[in-house]
Structure formats: structure tokens, C-alpha cells
A and B are shown apart, each in its own frame.
Chain A
Amino acid sequence: MKRQENFKNQVRSIYKVLVVSLIMVFLIGILGIIYMVSPSSFSFKSDRPDTKMITVTEEEDDWDKVENGVHLRTGLKEADGLMAVVNNCTNCHSAQLVIQNRMSRERWVETIRWMQETQNLWDLGNNEEVILDYLVTNYPLLKKGRRENLTDIEWYTLNE
């Protein structure tokens, strides 16, 4: 008897909770619809700046865009073999590391072997020649001698 009474009580309370939840869901739904139809109804601040719509036309080749002979995303020069370099040489390190290093073909080969042996670089296959040609053509060795002149001096007046 007592157990039955208990059971009824439990069902009653679950019923109550269900009804309340349904009403809540219904109300939230209505609020949602109002927000979708007229979002400004929820804006309590009148001084909020108007947000303008800006249409940006995305160009399809944006990711690999080249401007003034420079591949924008990496800073590499546009030339034969560019994408082979981008795709094989900028996964682990940035292209800045490639650009700032000037090496002979032999030293680049050594560097590639070192990366393959110790840094998990994959076999470059036919791309290896393409990459080497690109590097030695576009970033050739520069003679520096024992000490270079100071360059790019920004002159300014020193007042002490």
C-alpha cells in the first residue's frame, strides 16, 4: 500500500517536472523565433554602433596568391619549382629559414639528407631536383668576404 502511494507520488512529481520543462522549451522557442524575426527586440542599448555589412569576394587562389613576384603566404620568390618548395619545405619550419640560408647545391643536398636522416623529412622523389634548381637559382650564394660594409644605415640627428 505504502509503496503504491510512494510510486504515485513519484509519478506525480515527474509529471510536474515534465510539464514545467515543456512550457520552458515552448517559451524559449517563441523567444528564439522573435529573435530571428526581429533581433533588435533584444537589444537594450540604443547607442550600439551600426554594424555594416562588408562583402569580401574571396578569390579562389587566395591561399597561394602571388604578388610582385612573391608568394605572399611564405615570402618565397615566384619561379619554377615554387610550389614544390612550398609543399615540401615549409611543413616543419617556416620559409624564412629557407630564404635566409644561402648554400651551394652540394650543401643543400647535404642539408636535405640531414633532414631526411634526423628530422623526418620524406623522400622528395623527382621534386628533389626541382627544389634544388629553385634554391640555387633564386637564392644564390653571395660573396661576403671577411667583413662587409655597414649598409642600410638610417641616419638621424642626435641631440645630447
Chain B
Amino acid sequence: MKRRHFVKRTALGSLAGLLGAEIVFGANMPDNYDLLGLQDPDPFKLFGKDKEMLVLNSKPWNMEAMAHLLDDKVTPNPYIFVRNNGKVPEDIDEKEWTITFDGESVKEKKTFTLEELKSKFKHYTYQLTLECGGNGRKEFDPPAKGNQWDIGAVYCANWTGVRLGDVLDYVGIKSDAVYIGYHAIDKHLSGDPTKEPISRGVPISKAYMEETLLAFQMNGEDIPLVHGFPLRLVCGGWPASTSGKWVNRISVRNKVHDGEKMTGSSYKVPCHPVAAGEEVKDENMCIIESMPVKSLITYPKSGAQLAKGKKLNIRGHAWAGELEVSKVYYSIDFGVTWSECTLEKPANRLAWQRFKASIDFPKAGYYEVWARAVDANGESQPMLVPGWNPKGYLNNACHRIAVKIV
């Protein structure tokens, strides 16, 4: 018996090293107790996430925020959604990391170490909105296949890195280049080493945008592992799947990149509107580029009760893919009347914008506060779930919170 304790103490010591934390009261642990770190790891600890984050899937890891968790202007890591297509890599050695530029349309294949990338090119920091293409999927009827995201697969963090365009210029690309595609080190769920979980990309024009970065820092620190340490391609305003994590290769293509999740119906919507539930052939599906206008009420949390005569101060964020948001309105009567919110300018292009309003309620009762943003082209968020599509992308319907005046 005691010998087992000795063994357990030793094992606990090495386990503590593995988990990066001391196992407090480990000596008092019952013998048959299995540590989470060994069995089913605690994703909140593993990824440094807030306890209120919702786990949609544990294999692969997918987690999303609730609206009230996204109140910060610059989203801190605990509230950043986690979207994985494959297994999160382990044992990354930053010093050994390289990134290779290849493909039909590079003049010459080139490889950089992370250090070379950092020292050769100028650094830039931008606050960039990243939203999952499938954010809001759970509202589609008939339902669309995949993780049933509600509203929390969006955030806006600061990213620091080098401009992809600067690196492409240094590498030298041919005039027939039309697309770039990223490749990364994450492994396919089936364990098949010949399969990539995801390898998406963007057209050359997006690759050359000033804000498109090969980033090595998020919010002023090393990128958290689950968000792409040590190097991530960041394409603000586009489906977050174009922002490849753990990137070690960029292929410059003379055609639209045909990597995993670029073909079939992945991250595509019908080129022409279809009826709900209609079958759409792959060739009639078009790749999603800029994300549509959208907003979230991040304060107060839904379910607020306040006394009659009190003002309710609401705030939130609005974003519109490649565009700026020009107006945000709120309604407390299901869209019968709309009032304008005050709206701040974005910190930089592709960053979300803070809106605020102070609301008076005419009498006691149940209300919903709805927010509706309008982009620079005059396109508005719909109050209803927008056009149905087979994979359930681009639901930018208005967000609303419940309020009771008592």
C-alpha cells in the first residue's frame, strides 16, 4: 500500500511537470482517482479559458463565448472562441520553426526561420475582427451540419507580425499568381498523416492588404497554443478559417487554392439564393470572402431586471467584414421604431466598433433590446435569419437581449 503511495507521489511530481502546475493536496488524493490531465483534459485550464465559455465539441476542441463575455474593446484570451478542425499540435519548438514559400507562382522556393521573419521585415500591430464563417449556424432551419455555433464565435484581438505582402515581395511571385494557400502542422482527426485537417487561403489581393499579417503575437504576448503558436496567418474581416494557425508553409497558387476545406461546399454559400433545404450542387457554390455586417450587445447580460424609471445603458460592438460600420440602431419594440446608438470609429480598418445607447422604457413589462448595424454600403443586418444555405454560414441576424422593467 505505502509503496503505491511512493509511486503515486513520484508520478504526481512528473505529472505536475506535465501539466505545468503543482497538484495541490496531491498527497491526499484517493488512489483510484484519475487526474483530468491524464483522461479528459480540462479545456478551460488547458487553453486558459473562462469557465463561462461553452464547449461545443471536445474532439476536436470547439468552444464559444457568450455575448456578455465579449464586452472588452480588445478581447482577452479567456473569452476567445476555439475552433479546431484537427488535433491541437504539441511540443512546438519556436527556435526550430520555419515557414516555406512555394507553389506554382513563386519565382523560387524560400524558407525563413521565425527569427529571420522577425528580423527581416517591419512589424505591424492591428486590431482585427475574426469571426467563424459558421457563427450563428444553430438558427438555420432546416439545420445545417457542423458545430452549432450560437453568437460567440467572434472576437477582436490585437495581432502583431509582419505583412504577408512584404514577405511575398521579398520571395518574388510570378504575374500569374491568383491565390495563396496555407499549410500547417496540425494533424487530421483520423490520425491519417497524409491528410490535412484544413488548408485554406485568400486571393492575392487580400494577401497583399496592409492588415494581412503573418503574426507571432496576440495581445502583446506569444500567441496562445490553441490560437496558432508560434505563427498564424491573420486575415481580418474574412471567415476566421482563412487565418491559418500553426502555419509552416504558404503556397502561392496560379489558381484558386484547392486545399482541404476550399473545395466542395466548405466555407461556400449558394451563388444564387435558394429555398430553405434545397439541394445545391458544388459547382453552384461560391467561396465566402468578406463577412457581412453584424453586431452584439455585450452589456448588460440578457435577463436584466430594473426598476421602472431607471435608464438602461447598453453597449456592444459592430463590425462589417472589409467595410466600416456606419450606423447602429436599437429597438425595444421588435423593430416598430429604431433609435440611433452612438458609434465609435474603429481602432484601425477591420477592427470592430463600440456602440452605446441609453434607453428609457415607457412602462413596466417584458422587453427585448435589439441592435441592428448598417455598413458603409447601406446594407443592414436582418431581424430574421438570412438566406438559408446548406452549410449554415453567414447568419448575421440581429442580436437581442431580454430585459424586464419591474
A residues with a Cβ closer than 8 A to B are: 36, 39, 48-49, 51, 53-54, 56, 58, 90, 92-94, 96-97, 100-104, 107, 111, 119-120, 141-148, 150, 153-158, 160
| Complex contacts, A158 vs chain B, CB 8 Å | 300, 304-306, 312
> Which residue on B lies nearest to A91, using beta carbons?
B190
B147 touches A100 (CB 8 A): yes
> Which residue on A lies nearest to B400, using beta carbons?
A150
B141 touches A93 (CB 8 A): no
A-B contacts, 20 listed (Cβ < 8 Å): A39-B3, A49-B28, A51-B28, A56-B30, A92-B59, A93-B57, A97-B56, A97-B57, A97-B59, A97-B147, A100-B57, A101-B143, A103-B143, A119-B189, A141-B142, A150-B302, A156-B303, A158-B304, A160-B310, A160-B311
Q: Within B348-406, which residues are at the interface with A (CB < 8 Å)?
A: 368, 383-385, 397, 400, 402, 404
Say whether B24 faces chain A, with CB atoms less than 8 Å apart. Answer: no
> Which residue on A lies nearest to B6, using beta carbons?
A39
- Assembled-state Cα–Cα distance A136/B74 (Å): 43
Which of A51, A54, A56, A93 makes the CB contact (< 8 A) with B5? Answer: A51
> Which residue on A lies nearest to B1, using beta carbons?
A53
> Which residue on B lies nearest to A39, using beta carbons?
B2
| Complex contacts, B148 vs chain A, CB 8 Å | 100-101
- Assembled-state Cα–Cα distance A160/B311 (Å): 9
Say whether B32 faces chain A, with CB atoms less than 8 Å apart. Answer: yes
Which of B143, B306, B385 makes the CB contact (< 8 A) with A147? Answer: B385
| Complex contacts, B305 vs chain A, CB 8 Å | 155-158
- Assembled-state Cα–Cα distance A90/B145 (Å): 16
Known A-B contacts A39-B2, A158-B306; A147 and B300 likewise in contact (beta carbons under 8 Å): no
Tell me which of A90, A100, A119, A141 has the highest count of chain B C-beta atoms within 10 A of its own C-beta.
A100
| Complex contacts, A94 vs chain B, CB 8 Å | 57-59
- Per-residue contact bits, chain B 101-140, to A (CB 8 Å; 1 contact, 0 not): 0000000000000000000000000000000000000111
Q: Least Cβ distance of A48 to chain B in Å?
A: 7
A155 touches B404 (CB 8 A): yes
Tell me which of B57, B60, B138, B146 has the highest count of chain A C-beta atoms within 10 A of its own C-beta.
B57
> Which residue on A lies nearest to B144, using beta carbons?
A101
- Per-residue contact bits, chain B 41-60, to A (CB 8 Å; 1 contact, 0 not): 00000000000000111111
- Assembled-state Cα–Cα distance A119/B191 (Å): 10
Known A-B contacts A51-B28, A93-B57, A96-B57; A36 and B142 likewise in contact (beta carbons under 8 Å): no
Which of B27, B55, B141 makes the CB contact (< 8 A) with A96? Answer: B55
Q: Chain B interface: which size bin? A: 35 or more
Known A-B contacts A51-B28, A96-B55, A150-B302; A145 and B190 likewise in contact (beta carbons under 8 Å): no
Q: Within B243-267, which residues are at the interface with A (CB < 8 Å)?
A: none
A120 touches B192 (CB 8 A): yes
Say whether B195 faces chain A, with CB atoms less than 8 Å apart. Answer: yes
| Complex contacts, B384 vs chain A, CB 8 Å | 146-147
A145 touches B141 (CB 8 A): yes
- Assembled-state Cα–Cα distance A54/B310 (Å): 57
**Interface residues of A: mostly helix, strand, loop or mixed?**
loop
Which of A141, A146, A150 makes the CB contact (< 8 A) with B368? Answer: A150
Known A-B contacts A101-B146, A141-B143; A93 and B59 likewise in contact (beta carbons under 8 Å): yes
Q: Least Cβ distance of B62 to chain A in Å?
A: 8
Q: Least Cβ distance of A131 to chain B in Å?
A: 16
Q: Within B270-310, which residues are at the interface with A (CB < 8 Å)?
A: 300-306, 310
Smallest CB-CB A-B distances: 7 pairs = A144-B141, A120-B190, A158-B304, A94-B59, A92-B189, A100-B148, A56-B32
A160 touches B3 (CB 8 A): no
| Complex contacts, A141 vs chain B, CB 8 Å | 142-143
| Complex contacts, B56 vs chain A, CB 8 Å | 96-97, 100
- Assembled-state Cα–Cα distance A103/B148 (Å): 12
Say whether B31 faces chain A, with CB atoms less than 8 Å apart. Answer: yes
Q: Least Cβ distance of B136 to chain A in Å?
A: 11
B142 touches A93 (CB 8 A): no
> Which residue on A lies nearest to B313, using beta carbons?
A160
A54 touches B31 (CB 8 A): yes
Q: Least Cβ distance of B66 to chain A in Å?
A: 11
> Which residue on A lies nearest to B58, using beta carbons?
A94
Known A-B contacts A39-B2, A153-B402; A93 and B189 likewise in contact (beta carbons under 8 Å): yes
- Assembled-state Cα–Cα distance A52/B173 (Å): 69
B146 touches A54 (CB 8 A): no
Tell me which of B1, B5, B141, B189 has the highest count of chain A C-beta atoms within 10 A of its own C-beta.
B141
Q: Least Cβ distance of A29 to chain B in Å?
A: 15
A147 touches B146 (CB 8 A): no
| Complex contacts, A93 vs chain B, CB 8 Å | 57, 59-60, 189
Q: Within B157-195, which residues are at the interface with A (CB < 8 Å)?
A: 188-190, 192, 195
B145 touches A120 (CB 8 A): no
- Assembled-state Cα–Cα distance A81/B33 (Å): 31
